[in-house]
């Protein structure tokens, strides 16, 4: 039976109770992280937990644990659930309190919940590429916060799914920002182009890994805004996230990207990425 973490305790799903007054439930008042597990080890855990603390601080919420304690909880969940390839989901809400919009009394403690789950690498997407659909970016202006409020992302992903696509690519004021649960990159004339890490996107941990790999492999990068027209004219396009790694995009709004197959720069980055995750990792 899967072991979960809630409020300082490791427990089974059956004995796990969440208050109806939890502000995550009422308002989406909380933040979260997804951390990949390869070969039974957390990948880039410090970066993810660091970002969890940054997100919490941006919404003026104090997490009742240290970064190291949360990493230890995540490691314990991986161990007891015997997860080899998968991920940790961890969220912190502002706690349970009668429903008023303003913050509750300081005595209300934020609630930490987490679990570890088996989840194979999406190898067929990584190898063959996916289709995406552009969608209006109607989100708020603090997309740098990994907030539980994901309604606009949910609606965008659903619209993409209904069009037979794997991901929605957000466009705000004539600029491509990011995916509904991923960051977006184009490649033009050998240069990797991606939206800068402003309030309009989540600065993905995988995005940061990719930028580092570009540097190490002497692949030029431009962090700048680009339009949908530029996006359609890219030689290559790919999306990144903790669970999708580096996924090539071969079709955008039903138009082929470049030759309609994953490009060479994308492949080089995928190979460089694969080299720095545990070697014995296969599909699952």
Measured from the CB of residue 240, what is the shortest distance to ligand PDD in angstroms? 6
In the window 140-159, what residues touch ligand PDD (CB under 6 A)?
153
Q: Which one, 167 or 236, has the nearer CB to ligand PDD?
A: 167
Give residues with Cβ within 8 angstroms of 214, minimum separation 6.
192, 220, 221, 269
Q: Between residues 194 and 206, which has the closer beta carbon with respect to ligand PDD?
A: 206
* Interface mask toward ligand PDD for 168-187; x: CB under 6 A: ----------x--xxx----
- Whichever of 48 and 96 has its CB closer to ligand PDD, that residue is 48
Rounded distance, CA 201 to CA 197, Å?
6
Distance CA 163, CA 158 (A): 9
Q: Which one of residues 95, 204, 262, 263 is an interface residue with ligand PDD (CB under 6 A)?
A: 204
Q: Which stretch binds ligand PDD (CB under 6 A): 65-73, 126-134, 197-205, 247-255?
A: 197-205
Given candidates 94, 121, 133, 207, which one binds ligand PDD under the rule CB under 6 A? 207
Determine, following the binding rule CB under 6 A, whether residue 205 of this chain makes contact with ligand PDD: yes
Compute the Cα dihedral for 19, 29, 85, 160 and give only its sign: positive
Residue 16 CB, nearest approach to ligand PDD (Å) = 20
In the bound state with ligand PDD, the residue whose beta carbon lies nearer, of 188 and 207, is 207
Q: What interhelical angle do 205-216 and 264-275 show, nearest 10?
A: 100
52 and 31 in contact (C-beta within 8 Å)? yes
Residue 69 structure tokens: 């304690």
Smaller CB separation from ligand PDD, 22 or 178: 178
**155 CB contacts (<8 Å, ≥6 apart)?**
none
Among 34, 108, 191, 221, which residue interacts with ligand PDD (rule: CB under 6 A)? 34
β partners of residue 87: 36, 117
Q: CB count, 10 Å around CB of 270? A: 20
Q: Which of 36, 146, 157, 188 is catalytic?
A: 146
Mapping DSSP to helix (H, G, I), strand (E, B) and coil, where does residue 78 land? helix
Does the annotation count 79 as an active-site position? no
Site residues (CB under 6 A) for ligand PDD, limited to 216-255: 240-243
User: Tokens at residue 192, please?
Assistant: 């990797």
* Structure tokens that stand for 173 in this block: 């004021």
Positions that interact with ligand PDD (CB under 6 A): 34, 153, 178, 181-183, 202, 204-207, 240-243
Q: Which residues are catalytic?
A: 146
């Amino acid at each position: 039976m899967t072991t979960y973490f809630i409020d300082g305790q490791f427990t089974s799903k059956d004995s796990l109770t969440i208050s109806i007054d939890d502000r995550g439930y009422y308002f989406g008042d909380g933040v979260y992280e997804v951390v990949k597990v390869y070969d039974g080890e957390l990948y880039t855990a410090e970066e993810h937990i660091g970002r969890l603390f940054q997100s919490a601080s941006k919404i003026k919420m104090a997490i009742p644990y240290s970064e190291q304690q949360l990493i230890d909880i995540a490691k314990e969940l991986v161990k007891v659930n015997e997860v080899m390839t998968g991920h940790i989901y961890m969220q912190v809400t502002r706690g349970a309190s009668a429903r008023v919009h303003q913050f509750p009394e300081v005595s209300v403690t934020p609630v930490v919940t987490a679990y570890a789950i088996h989840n194979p690498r999406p190898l067929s997407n990584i190898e063959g590429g996916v289709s995406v659909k552009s969608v209006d970016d109607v989100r708020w202006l603090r997309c740098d916060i990994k907030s539980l409020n994901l309604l606009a992302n949910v609606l965008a992903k659903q619209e993409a799914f209904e069009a037979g696509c794997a991901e929605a690519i957000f466009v705000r004021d004539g600029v491509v920002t990011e995916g509904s649960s991923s960051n977006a990159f184009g490649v033009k004339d050998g240069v990797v182009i991606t939206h800068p890490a402003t309030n309009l996107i989540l600065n993905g941990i995988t995005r940061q890994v990719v930028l580092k790999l570009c540097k190490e492999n002497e692949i030029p990068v431009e962090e700048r805004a680009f339009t949908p027209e530029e996006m359609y004219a890219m030689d290559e396009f790919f999306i990144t996230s903790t669970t999708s790694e580096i996924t090539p995009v071969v079709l955008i709004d039903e138009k082929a990207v470049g030759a309609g197959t994953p490009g060479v720069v994308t492949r080089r980055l995928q190979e460089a990425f694969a080299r720095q995750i545990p070697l014995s990792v296969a599909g699952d």
